[in-house]
Structure formats: C-alpha cells, structure tokens
C-alpha cells in the first residue's frame, strides 16, 4: 500500500490492521517520551490548499512522533498562490525529497490524481479533497467507536450521521468505512442536503432527526454546518438548529449507552448544543486524540515498510 | 489513374476500382494492374459533422492542418468545423477565411457558422451573410454553448429554413448545469462532483423539437447522450419533425464509471453517462433513431488536462477512433452491417450537412474513399496526428484500421501514412 486517498482502497482487513496499529501507537502517545524512530530521515510534507488547523496539526504531530521531518505548506505562503499547477507543486516537493505528501485540496479528486496520474512517486495521503473523502477522519472515528464499545469490528452497531451530507467528505468516508466494518449507517438532514442517491453508498436515509434517533443509534455523529453555505443554500440558522441540532431535548431522549461524536470544529448552538458537546457521552476530544494515533498508523503503514 | 484491386464493398461484392482524375471511372473488373487491396473494404470517405479545429485562436491545441491530418488518418474526406474558434466564426469573413485557408488541403473542410454573435447567446450572428458567402454555410451551431433563449432559437430556425439550412444544437439547459462536472446521479454524489442531469439535455431537445415542428424547420441534435433523449427523438421522428441526431464515439462506448479515476481525459460535455445509456444509444444508432456518428473531436493541450478535474477543459479527440468505434458497435456486436456503417459515417452526415457532391461509391462519383482493414485490431495510443493527446480510448484495443484515404482521386493517407503537411 503506497497511498491512502479513499476508503475504497482499503479492504476490511487492511482497515483493521491500521486500527490495530493505531491502538498500539496510542500506547506510545500515553508515554512520557512520545517518540519512535520509525521515519527518521524521511520528510513528510503537509500541502494544504485549504485552511485547517486541527487536521494539519494532527498530521504534524503524528509525523514528528515518528521522527520524520515535517514541512508545512499552505496556499497562502507558497507558489501555489502564484498559480502553480498541482502537478508542478507536487513534483517540486518530490524533488525536494518528500517521501509523503499529505494533501488537503478544495477540489474533489485532487489527492487521487496526485497518487495515480503518474506525476509523482511520493506516497499521497488524502487529508480531505473537496466534498469527496477524508479517509483518516473516518479511520479515527472507527478507532474511537472500537474503543467506546470495546469491539474489534463494528458489527451490530448503528451510527447516525446528521447534517449536510451532500458537501461532507467526512460523511462519505465514514459511510464507506462503517459499512466495511459491519456497522449499520443511518443518514439524516435537510432533504436538499441529504441526496437520496447517497443511500447507494450504504446508508438508510431519514428526513427527520427525531425519527432517526428513535431507532436508538449507538453513535450520533453530528457534522459541522458550514455557515457560509447556509446563507445561500438552505434555511436560517434558527430553523436549522430547531430541526437538526442535537439539543438538550434530543440529548435527554438519547439512550445512556449512546455516544456523541463530531469531527470538529463545532458550531456550538448550531448543529450541537453546549450540553451535548460537554455531555459525558460525548467522545469528541477522544476523537482528536485518536487522530494522532491513526495518522501515525497510516504514515507507518505507507512509509515504514520500504525502509 | 489509380487502380485499386481486389476490394470488397459494403455489400460484400468483390471488385476493382479505377479512379480517373477526381472521379470513379470503374467499379468491377479492371484489366489494369494496380494496388493490391486484398482484405480491404472500400467505403465512401467519412464525413464528420462535428469537429473542433482550434484555429484561429487556440493553435497550441490544433491547427487546421493538424486537424486535417488527423481526419485523413481516420478515413475522413470531409469535416465540418465548429464555430468556437477565436475570433468566433460568426461572420462571412470568418467562414470564408476557413474555407480559403483549407482549400489546398486534400480534405474538404466546411465551416459551421455561429448561431449567435460571439456564441454569447444574446443576438443572432450574420446567418444570411454566412449562407450567401463563398463558404456557402448551411449548418449553424453555437456548440459548446446552448442557444437557450427560446426566442433566439425560434428566429434562428426560421431564418435557416429560408435558405435550406439547419441549426445544430448543443442541448444543455444552462441554469440546471451551473458548475456541472459529470453525469448527475449516485456516482456524482459519491465522488463529490457537481452533477449534469439528463433532464438538462432532454428539456432543451424537447423544446427545440416543438419549435422545429411548429416552424417546419430543420433541427440537428448534437451529441445526444441519454436514453430519455433517444425516446424524445424517436417520438419526434414519428411525428414527422425534421430532426436528425448524432452520437459521439465516446458516448457509445464509454460510461461514467471512468470518472472514478478523476483523470480529466474523461471529462467531456455533455458528460459520459451510465452504461445503460450507452447501450440504448448503440441500439438507437442501429435502428436509425440516431442518424449519424459525429466525433465532437475536441483537442486540448496537455496543461488543460493535467490539472484538477474541476479546472480541466471539457472534451476528447475522436477523429482517429471513430470508425473503429462504429465498427465495434455496428459490426463486431453483430447488431448491424456495413451498409449501415456507410450511412452513419458518410452518406447521412453528408446529407444533413447539405454536401452537394455525390459521395456514393458509383461510377462518375467523386473519388472520396476510405479503405479499411476490418480484420486488424489495434491498441489505441494517445499520440496521434492531432496536436493534442486527450484520447479517452488510449490503451484500449479496437477493431479496424484505415489503410488508405483518398480525397478526389488523391491519396491523403496511403499505407497507413498521412500524405500531406
């Protein structure tokens, strides 16, 4: 395995192997000296064409803990802003010695293009491409669910994903991975943001959040609402919150055994209430912590094998 | 005098052909010795009603000469050049320039005039002036853009009816396809790309057919891609509408699954549709609902295809694969025969395009011929005679090879080699 651009590239065993490795590496992260020599001498480039703090920092910490050299490039400070093509930028980074390029890009497919168009030999890791995929997010979510329910795969568990599914790369990667690991996936949100066609990826669709929650899902995954999109494409914040927020009423109706997740950053008071975010059933910070372990596992899997 | 020996005709008959000057002098048994053409099929030279030459304006992608060479390599002896050059072919001067500029080439290049000035869709171009010019334009199209304004389309159809012309429409409802990147549906959703709904094509076709019926005007539907569009055209023909339709090689054989690669070589407008649509298009080509194969040959330079899918240009080259695809769909499939092949590749596009010359294989006809080895199978390479390499069939094996192309009694391609430029 050389690249990770889509969950589709992982079969069940490969996904579980990454999750198992992430669990092992999590123990390193709990130690006082959180460092392994695995990727010493290798350079990992974070190439971010979109703003992101948490994903970039998570990859940076992951690479650093594996002793890789890390370079961060964002579109504001590089020749990317001067209109250099994706191909030229990637080839330049490779010429500078990048063993892996972690790429976030506003265009769906950009990571897969870097991996497969024959432009570069570096390993490509998709850190989010347009509204297509965000595979390491899905892996860290699966790692979190495995921990929360003490299971190996996710058979028998049900996960409801709520919000703007149509523009969400987190949702797509999660639907694919949760299915691979045996979970049942429900999707819920405003009709115009949850296309019927999405059920073809392996999800049951609800147009009413309360109806979806009535099935007593094991995990409720709230997606971030992009406010800039809201104004032009759908309802007011008030209306959205009323229909789709995990508010205190819905929180109280949720089974004790259910868990709440969110890929962050949260809009408290919009898709999720403060009560829900801070509820003991919330696993949101655990997701962030697990993100480092999962990204270490992915870097390890892609880069350590050939050393 | 060219003497071609031991040819097979579309009918299966074995003959020799003598060419004297620019005309066919004999079809039958020649007493003269000549070029042995055993194993080759003699077909009328192909006619493409839908080629994009990029000159003037975008010569890095294609010139009149490179496009002509690509066409000759593909067995074409006539191509119609779309109007979306820069400047746009929307005036008598512009269409006359192309006619003049291409007159010395061993291929006929017929200019298509723009329907609206600058393809902007605001006001009609000088249709009558283009028709009356030395280029004698009869086919008008804003291809690449849709004449979406109904009133303008009505005027254009009325005006072209006056001088026996037609409008070739790129059927794309603009408001329904803002930012569209691929066929709308489950795959577009999965890939996170903005969809191009079938309805956006079908609604325009339906509207234009109603106009054509009402005005008794002639409409040609460019690159039809959906099963629904086939139904509409079938209905229109049954109603007696003067409507014809074309399908491209890529829409016949390729489908949206290829977009999974995000390789922009598969980005085209209208988009590759479902495999089911491709199947229906093939059936419609066999049964005559679709009249012709037209390439929509759309060359683009490397940098316009080596970029993010969303930033890449729409379009594919097609002149050198089209006959092979038509053979695959009509002949190798067992669904039809070489007579139908000749109709869709030559006689019908010539008729729609109002070519005056007789292109049928008969004594006294113009000696425009494509000599094809149907038994050959070849692997398509991106490198062709076109200046561009955006070939979606690259790496695929297709049947048939054009061995010789003859234009008005002159070899434009001989033994696999293009003879000019």
DSSP A50-110: S--SHHHHHHHHHHHHTT-EEEEEETTTSGGGGT--HHHHHHHHHHTTEEEEEEEESSTTH
Q: What confidence score (pLDDT) does residue B332 get?
A: 98
Partners of residue B307 in chain A, C-beta under 8 Å: 85-87
Identify any residues that bridge with A205 across adjacent strands, giving them in sequence order.
A187
Any idea which residue has 């297509």 for tokens?
A: A132
- Cβ-defined contact of A132 to B192 (cutoff 8 Å): yes
In angstroms, the separation between the Cα of residue B306 and the nearest Cα of chain A is: 7
Closest to A162 in 3D by CA, of A183, A185, A144: A185
Residue B220 pairs with which residues in a beta bridge? B168, B244
**Closest CA relative to residue B250, chosen from B230, B269, B231:** B269
- At A227 the pLDDT is 76
- Tokens 């191009």 correspond to what residue? B196
Indicate which of B190, B267, B382, B389 best probes the interface with A, i.e. most A CBs within 10 Å of its own CB.
B190
Tokens standing for residue A9: 């590239």
The span from the CA of A283 to the CA of A6, in Å, is 24
Tell me whether B2 touches chain A (CB under 8 Å).
no
- A164 touching B (Cβ < 8 Å): no
Please give the structure tokens belonging to residue A187: 């999707």
Report the gap between the CA of B211 and the closest CA in chain A (Å). Answer: 34
B 295-314 residues with CB < 8 A to A = 303, 306-311
Going by C-alpha positions, the residue among B342, B188, B38, B365 that lies closest to residue A130 is B188
Owning domain of residue B54: 45-358+377-397
Residue pLDDT, tens place only, B383-397: 999 999 999 999 999
Domains (range + CATH), chain A? 7-133+288-304 (3.40.50.1370), 135-283 (3.40.50.1370)
In-domain check, residue B18: no
ipTM: 0.93
Q: Chain A residue with minimal CA distance to B193? A: A108
B25 phi-psi bin (left φ>0, alpha ψ -120 to 50, beta other)? alpha
CB contact under 8 A, A197 and B311: no
What parts of chain B have a pLDDT lower than 70? Answer: none
Residue A172: alpha-carbon gap to chain centroid: 10
Taking a C-beta distance cutoff of 8 angstroms, is the pair B14, B21 a contact? no
Q: Of B262, B269, B320, which is closest to residue B295 (Cα–Cα)?
A: B320
Over chain A (307 residues), the average pLDDT of each successive run of 10 is 96 98 93 92 96 93 97 75 84 95 96 96 97 98 98 97 96 98 97 94 97 97 84 77 96 97 95 97 97 98 77
DSSP A290: H
- Domain assignment present for residue B14? The answer is no
Question: Closest Cα to residue B152, out of B115, B182, B118?
Answer: B115
Reference B140, options B167, B121, B119, B162; nearest CA is: B167
Q: How far is CA B408 from CA A182, B354, B357, B411, in A?
A: 68, 18, 11, 8
SS (HEC) of chain B: CEEEEEEEECCCCEEEEEEECCEEEEEECCCCCCEECCCCEEEECEEEEEECCCCCCCCCCCCHHHHHHHHHHCCEEEEEECCCCCCCCCCHHHHHHHHHHCCCCCCEEEECECCEHHHCCCCECCHHHHHHCCCCCCEECCCCCCCCCHHHHHHHHHHHHHCCCEEEECCCCCHHHCCCCEECCHHHHHHCCCEECHHHHHHHHHHHHHHHHHHCCCEEECCCCCHHHHHHHHHHHHCCCCEEEEECHHHHHCCHHHHHHCCHHHCCCCCCCCHHHHHHHHHHHHHCCCCEECCCECCCCHHHHCCCHHHCCCCECCCCCHHHHHHHHHHHCCCCCHHHHHHHHHHHHHHHCCCCCCCCCCCCCECCEEEEEEEEEEECCCCCCCCCCCCCCCCCEEEEEEEEEEECCEEEEECCEECCC
CA atoms B8, B10, B13, B16: torsion sign:
negative
Residue B90 lies in a domain: yes
Contact A201 B186 (CB under 8 A): yes
Q: What percent of chain B has pLDDT over 90?
A: 98
Residue A244 near residue A189 (C-beta atoms within 8 A) = yes
Q: Which of B190, B263, B309 sits opposite A201 (nearest CB)?
A: B190
Residue B20 is a catalytic residue = no
The pair of three-digit structure tokens given for residue B21, joined into one six-digit string: 């000057």
Tell me which of B296, B337, B358, B415 is the catalytic residue.
B296
Q: How far apart are the first and last CA of chain B?
A: 23
Contacts of A198 in chain B (CB under 8 A): 186, 189-190
Phi, psi for residue A74 in degrees, rounded to 5: -120, 155
Residue B185 lies in a domain: yes
Question: Is position B6 within any domain?
Answer: no
Largest Cα separation within chain B, whole Å, is 66
Contact A112 B261 (CB under 8 A): yes
d(CA B289, CA B78): 23
B190 touches chain A (CB under 8 A): yes
Q: What is the pLDDT of residue A30?
A: 86
Which residues in chain A have their CB less than 8 angstroms from residue B310's CB?
107-108, 130
B308:A113 CB<8 A: yes
Q: Residue B247 phi/psi, 5° resolution? A: -135, 145
Is residue A199 within 8 Å of A161, Cβ to Cβ? no
Per-residue model confidence (pLDDT) at position A307:
44
Element holding A26 (H helix, E strand): helix A12-30
Residue B26 inside a domain? The answer is no
* Contacting B residues, span 224-283, partner chain A, CB-CB under 8 Å: 261-263
Q: Based on the structure, what is the number of domains in chain B?
A: 1
Tokens of B183: 């066929």
* CA–CA separation, B244 and B267 (whole Å): 25
Range 203-232 of A in CB contact (< 8 A) with B: none
Q: Which of residues 69-88 of A touch B (CB under 8 A)?
A: 85-87
Out of B188, B303, B309, closest to residue A107 by CB? B309
Nearest of B284, B196, B300, B197 to residue B246 by alpha carbon: B284
The CATH number that applies at residue B208 is 3.20.20.140
Contact B262 A119 (CB under 8 A): no
B387 to chain A, closest Cα gap in Å: 21
Taking residue A13's Cβ as centre, other Cβ atoms within 10 Å add up to 9
Residues of chain B in contact with residue A117, where contact means CB-CB under 8 angstroms, are 263, 306
Token readout for B226 is 């959906």
* CB-based contact B293:B345 (threshold 8 Å): yes
Neighbours of B9 (CB within 10 A): 17
Q: What φ, ψ does residue A219 adopt, rounded to 5°?
A: -130, 135
Task: Give the Cβ contact number of residue A30 at 10 Å.
Answer: 10
Sheet holding A184-188, edge to edge: A204-206, A184-188, A158-162, A219-222, A259-261
DSSP A199: G
Distance, in Å, from the CA atom of B394 to the CA atom of A67, rounded to the nearest integer, reads: 43
Contacts of B262 in chain A (CB under 8 A): 108-110, 112-113, 116
According to the model, what pLDDT value does residue A51 have? 85
Strand order in the sheet with B139-140: B139-140, B166-169, B219-221, B243-247, B292-293
Please state, in angstroms and rounded to a whole number, the distance separating the CA atoms of residues B327 and B335.
Answer: 10
Specify if B121 maps to a domain. Answer: yes
């Amino acid at each position: 395995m050389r690249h990770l651009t889509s969950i589709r590239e992982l079969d069940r065993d490969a996904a579980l192997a990454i999750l198992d490795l992430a669990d092992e590496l999590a123990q390193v992260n709990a130690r006082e000296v959180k460092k392994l020599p695995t990727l010493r001498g290798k350079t990992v480039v974070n190439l971010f064409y979109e703003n992101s703090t948490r994903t970039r920092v998570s990859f940076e910490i992951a690479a650093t803990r594996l002793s890789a050299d890390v370079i961060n490039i964002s579109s504001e400070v590089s020749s990317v802003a001067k209109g250099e093509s994706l191909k030229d930028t990637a080839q330049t980074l490779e010429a500078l010695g990048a063993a892996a390029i972690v790429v976030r890009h506003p265009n769906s497919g950009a990571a897969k293009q870097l991996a497969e168009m024959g432009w570069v030999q570096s390993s490509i890791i998709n850190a989010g491409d347009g509204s297509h995929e965000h595979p390491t997010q899905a892996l860290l979510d699966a790692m979190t669910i495995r921990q929360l329910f003490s299971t190996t795969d996710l058979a028998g568990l049900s996960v409801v994903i709520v919000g703007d599914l149509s523009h969400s790369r987190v949702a797509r990667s999660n639907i694919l991975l949760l299915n691979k690991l045996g979970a049942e996936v429900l999707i819920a949100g405003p009709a115009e943001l949850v296309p019927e066609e999405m059920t073809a990826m392996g999800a049951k669709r609800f147009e009413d959040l309360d109806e979806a929650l009535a099935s007593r899902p094991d995990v409720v995954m709230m997606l971030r609402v992009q406010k800039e999109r809201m104004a032009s494409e759908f309802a007011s914040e008030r209306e959205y919150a009323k229909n789709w927020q995990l508010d205190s009423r819905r929180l109280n109706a949720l089974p004790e055994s259910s868990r709440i997740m969110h890929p962050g950053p949260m809009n408290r008071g919009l898709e999720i209430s403060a009560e829900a975010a801070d509820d003991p059933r919330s696993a949101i910070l655990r997701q962030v912590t697990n993100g480092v372990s999962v990204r270490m596992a992915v870097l390890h899997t892609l880069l350590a094998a050939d050393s | 005098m060219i003497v071609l020996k031991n040819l097979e005709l579309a009918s299966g008959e074995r003959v020799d052909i003598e060419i004297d000057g620019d005309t066919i002098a004999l079809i039958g048994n020649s007493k003269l010795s000549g070029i042995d053409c055993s194993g080759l099929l003699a077909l009328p030279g192909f006619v493409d009603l839908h080629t994009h030459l990029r000159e003037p304006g975008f010569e890095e992608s294609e010139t009149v000469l490179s496009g002509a060479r690509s066409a000759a390599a593909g067995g074409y002896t006539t191509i119609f050049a779309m109007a979306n050059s820069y400047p746009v072919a929307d005036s008598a001067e512009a269409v006359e320039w192309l006619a003049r500029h291409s007159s010395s080439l061993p291929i006929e290049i017929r200019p298509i005039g723009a329907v609206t000035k600058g393809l902007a869709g605001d006001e009609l171009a000088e249709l009558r002036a283009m028709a009356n010019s030395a280029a004698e334009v009869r086919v008008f199209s804003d291809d690449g853009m849709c004449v979406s304004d109904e009133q303008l389309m009505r005027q254009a159809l009325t005006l072209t009816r006056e001088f026996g012309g037609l409008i070739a429409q790129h059927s794309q409802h603009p408001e329904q396809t803002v930012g569209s990147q691929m066929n709308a549906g489950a795959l577009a959703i999965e890939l996170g790309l903005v969809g191009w709904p079938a309805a956006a094509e079908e609604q325009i076709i339906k509207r234009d057919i109603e106009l054509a019926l009402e005005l008794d005007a002639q409409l040609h539907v460019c690159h039809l891609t959906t099963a629904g569009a086939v139904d509409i055209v079938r209905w229109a023909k049954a109603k007696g509408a003067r409507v014809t339709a074309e399908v491209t090689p890529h829409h016949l054989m390729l489908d949206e699954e290829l977009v999974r690669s995000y390789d922009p070589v598969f980005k085209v407008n209208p988009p590759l549709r479902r495999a089911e649509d491709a199947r229906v298009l093939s059936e419609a080509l066999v049964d005559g609902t679709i009249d012709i194969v037209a390439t929509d040959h759309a060359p683009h330079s490397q940098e316009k295809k080596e970029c993010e899918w969303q930033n890449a240009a729409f379009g594919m080259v097609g002149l050198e694969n089209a006959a092979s695809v038509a053979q695959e769909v009509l002949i190798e499939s067992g669904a039809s025969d070489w007579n139908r092949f000749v109709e869709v590749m030559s006689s019908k596009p010539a008729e729609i395009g109002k070519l005056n010359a007789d292109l049928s294989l008969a004594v006294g006809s113009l000696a425009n011929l494509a000599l094809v080895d149907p038994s050959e199978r070849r692997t398509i390479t991106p490198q062709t005679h076109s200046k561009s390499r955006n070939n979606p069939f690259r790496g695929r094996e297709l049947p048939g090879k054009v061995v010789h192309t003859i234009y008005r009694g002159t070899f434009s391609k001989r033994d696999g080699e293009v003879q000019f430029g």
